[in-house]
Structure 1
Amino acid sequence: MVSVHLIAKVLCCVVFVFGGLLFSSDAQLDPSFYCKTCPNLQFIVHKVVWKASLTDPRIFASLVRLHFHDCFVQGCDASVLLNNTDTIVSEQQAFPNNNSLRGLDVVNKIKTRVEKACPDVVSCADILALAAEASTFFSHGPYWKVPLGRRDSLTANRTLANQNLPAPFFTLDQLKAAFVAQGLNTTDLVTLSGAHTFGRSHCSLFVNRLYNFNNTGKPDPTLNTTYLKKLIKICPQNGTGTNLTNLDPTTPNKFDKNYYSNLKGGKGLFQSDQELFSTPNADTISIVNKFSNNKDAFFDSFKVSMIKMGNIGVLTGDKGEIRKQCNFINKKSTKLDVNIVASKESPEEGMVSSI
Structure 2
Amino acid sequence: MTSLAHQLKRLALPQSDANLLTRSEVASLLFDPKEAASMDRSTFYALGCTGLEELLGIEPAFLEFQSTLFSPASTTLERSIQSKEVNKKLDAGISLFLTRLCPYFLLKPAHKCIEWLVHRFHIQLYNADSLLACALPYHDTNVFVRVLQLLKISDSDVKSFCLSLFVQKPGVPLSRGTLIAHCYTDLSFMDFICSLVTRSIEAYSGHSGSCSQLRVIFSFYASTIVPALDAVDRVSNTIISKLLPYVQTGLKSSLADYKAATYMIVCQLAVKVVMEASLVDSLAVHISKSLIKEPVLAKEGVGCLIVLRPRSQSRDTSSHCCRVCPVGCCWTSI
TM-score, normalised to structure 1, is: 0.28
Higher gyration radius (CA): 2
Write 1 or 2 for the structure with the bigger share of helix.
2
The answer to which structure, 1 or 2, has the higher relative contact order (CA under 8 A, 6+ apart) is 1
TM-score by length of 2: 0.29
